[in-house]
Amino acid sequence: MLETQAREALKRGDLRAAVAAAKALAEGSPQQPEGFFLLGVAAAEAGQLANAVPLIEAAVERGPKAEHLAQLARLLILLRRDGEAANAAREAMALTPEDALTFDTIGCVLARLGDHEASMAPFAEAVAAAPDNLDYRYNLAAASGFTGRVEEARAQYERILAADPGDARAHYALAILSRQTALTNHVPRLEAALARADVPDKALRIRYALVKELEDIGNAAEAFRHLSAANDAQKQALGYDFQQDAAIFDAIEALFGGPPNSFEASGGKAGPAPIFVVGMPRTGTTLVDRILSSHRDVEAAGELQAMPLAVKQLAGTSSRRVIDPETIAASAGIDPAAIGDAYLKRADHHRPGVKARFTDKLPANFLYIGHIAHALPNARIVCLRRNPMDTIWSNYKNLFASQSAYYAYSYDLMDTARYYARFDRLMALWESIWPGRALQLSYEALVADQEGQTRRLLQHCDLDWDEKCLSFHENGTAVATPSAAQVRRPINADSVEKWRAHEAALEPARAWLEAQGVKL
């Protein structure tokens, strides 16, 4: 049977045979969807996403099936067509899938859209249908952790490690799920797993898990040893040079800081007022996002790529990176209202839309404050500021998405210090151009005076007082960042001056910042 032949060829990676069988099936039964679907899958496997989508759409037109819609949603997400992907995924779920892969695919699409609560059901169905598939179980565990089902997440990660003691993703996820203690930790198990790690990516994640747990139990020297080894190897693997980021900062400063401002001015885009929560990562952005989204009029849309993608799309540059000097320079000729419109259209796909206001918590949007100010005049911007040394330490020790260009600086201590200095300089530029446009909110001040700083925050965002903002830890919405455990606890000062546990090791960064005139 041609369909079976095509599917078996896809499984073994024989795309030529798969295409031949699928093409024969489509030509022999042009009113049936399977041939078009399998041709689309083969095109996707060959990396031809733009060709794959219309083929799978042709299959859906011939009679929607859950499997076909789920795969269409997956491709649309990869192409950053989020709204269409959301519709396809939800339609696929409504058609009651019959196989584990389709359930898992739907869950992955919903998770990419930030709807972690909705992803729970398809992930659970995938595990029920294929309990031995550890990838499906990992996805369910991650969604459980994001949605506050901590014990369920823990149980799923332990099931994975029972089956595969070397699963580095599970080791790391379990380490950051909650605070470890001297009596309850996984350090011996992690050390054994590290000794068996056979590829660099596994070693990276297991070392980061060790760093987290060793720091939790007070073994600072050993934690730093593992961290330094992990970061040195990762920086070398990435081939990162700080000049890559310095060139981006230079381009932004040239665009917005020159006399006169070369960015075209217009009325921008009126309408709903998003609240951008920005700053260096690991400085309290998740905490502030939870405070704001606890307000009766505000919902959290997540860490959106909507602004970077809107600028990239309208700049029309051919480079593969979302942000680079070429794209920043090209953005000078864009009508800001077009950026605002493109941003809001993309953002709408990530919010339920039941509340008047929403937060966008992509920390790196501090690079786009100039675009935001021009394009969305009603938007509010909050930039978190944390003690520079705590900021540098927290960035250096955190495992971000390992291939993300946004955070490549974080695998070297001095690169992290250099990045902080440029961030600090850029924030000073924004303040000089638009005084008070971005509220620079101190993390330490917020911890010390929760109500006073929360009132200041809400006033800046043009929001009435809401007592629930003080009980942000009771907010039940999902958290998909390393801060998930912290923001489910009442506000506390546990993270203030954390860098001092590693003061000697961090001294080169501190001395360099001081020499640069950065206020410490």
Kindly report the three-state secondary structure assignment for every residue of 351-379.
CCCCCCEEEECCHHHHHHHHHHHHHCCCC
What b/e readout covers 220-241, taking b as 16+ CB neighbours within 10 angstroms? beebbbbbbbbbebbbeeeebe
Q: Quick check: 382 and 288 in contact, CB under 8 A? A: yes
What is the model's pLDDT at position 488? Answer: 62
What is the model's pLDDT at position 22? Answer: 92
Task: Give the separation between CA 451 and CA 473, rounded to whole angstroms.
Answer: 14
Task: Give the separation between CA 211 and CA 215, rounded to whole angstroms.
Answer: 6
Q: Token pair for residue 160?
A: 């994975």
Q: Is the pTM of this model over 0.95?
A: no
Q: What is the CA radius of gyration of the chain?
A: 24
Instruction: Provide the residue type at 231 as one letter.
Output: N
Task: Give the separation between CA 386 and CA 496, rounded to whole angstroms.
Answer: 9
Domains, the chain, with CATH or none: 243-515 (3.40.50.300)
Q: Quick check: 344 and 272 in contact, CB under 8 A? A: yes
CB contact set of 485 (below 8 Å; sequence gap of 6+): 150, 176, 177, 178, 179
What is the model's pLDDT at position 485? Answer: 59
What is the model's pLDDT at position 474? Answer: 82
Strand order in the sheet with 357-360: 298-300, 357-360, 275-279, 380-385, 438-442
Task: Give the separation between CA 385 and CA 499, rounded to whole angstroms.
Answer: 15
Closest CA to 482 of 179, 116, 67: 179
Task: Give the separation between CA 400 and CA 409, rounded to whole angstroms.
Answer: 11
Query: How do the pLDDT tens digits run along the chain, 520 residues long?
Result: 898 999 999 999 999 999 999 999 999 999 999 999 999 999 999 999 999 999 999 999 999 999 999 999 999 999 989 889 999 999 999 999 999 999 999 999 999 998 999 999 999 999 999 999 999 999 999 999 999 999 999 999 999 999 999 999 999 999 999 999 999 999 999 999 999 999 999 999 999 999 999 999 999 999 999 999 999 999 999 999 999 999 999 999 999 987 655 565 556 766 668 999 999 999 999 999 999 999 999 999 999 999 999 999 999 999 989 999 999 999 998 999 999 999 999 998 888 777 889 999 999 999 999 999 999 999 999 999 999 999 999 999 999 876 677 899 999 999 999 999 999 999 999 999 999 999 999 999 999 999 999 999 999 999 999 999 999 888 767 666 665 556 567 788 888 999 999 999 999 999 999 999 999 8
